[in-house]
Amino acid sequence: GENVEQHPSTLSVQEGDSAVIKCTYSDSASNYFPWYKQELGKGPQLIIDIRSNVGEKKDQRIAVTLNKTAKHFSLHITETQPEDSAVYFCAASENTDKLIFGTGTRLQVFP
């Protein structure tokens, strides 16, 4: 079955700097890769996703890149702000159902 590894587990950046979170997956059949942001006491919020027919996708300060050959994908947050502080999860699956999640990255943005 699918296995998703996520790094780093914690990440601290200064406000205005960029943050990068990386994930690798094992199942070559996976073709859907979403990212979720979970703030304290809340459910995970979908922030961006990418499918295997696309190499990069951007939404304002957030971008995701996918390398299917190497089986890894990354989340890039530019111009970080304190409100970006949260736990971020990557996930992978062949379809939208049965998402396999990474272990999470706790991002802290210091003013």
Instruction: Report phi then psi at 82, rounded to 5.
Output: -55, -35
Rule CB under 8 A: is residue 53 a binding residue for another protein? no
> Would you say 65 or 88 has its CB closer to another protein?
88
Token pair in block for residue 38: 């979970």
> Among 47, 11, 51, which Cα is nearest to 33's?
51
Cis bond before residue 8 (omega within 30° of 0): yes
Looking at the Cβ atoms of 77 and 102, the one nearer to another protein is: 102
- Shortest spacing between CB 93 and another protein, in angstroms: 9
**β-bridge pairing 105-110 and 10-14:** parallel
Task: Please identify, among the stretches 20-28, 38-46, 54-62, 65-73, the one whose residues bind another protein according to the rule CB under 8 A.
Answer: 38-46
Binding site for another protein (CB under 8 A): 32, 34, 36, 42-46, 49, 89, 96-99, 101-104
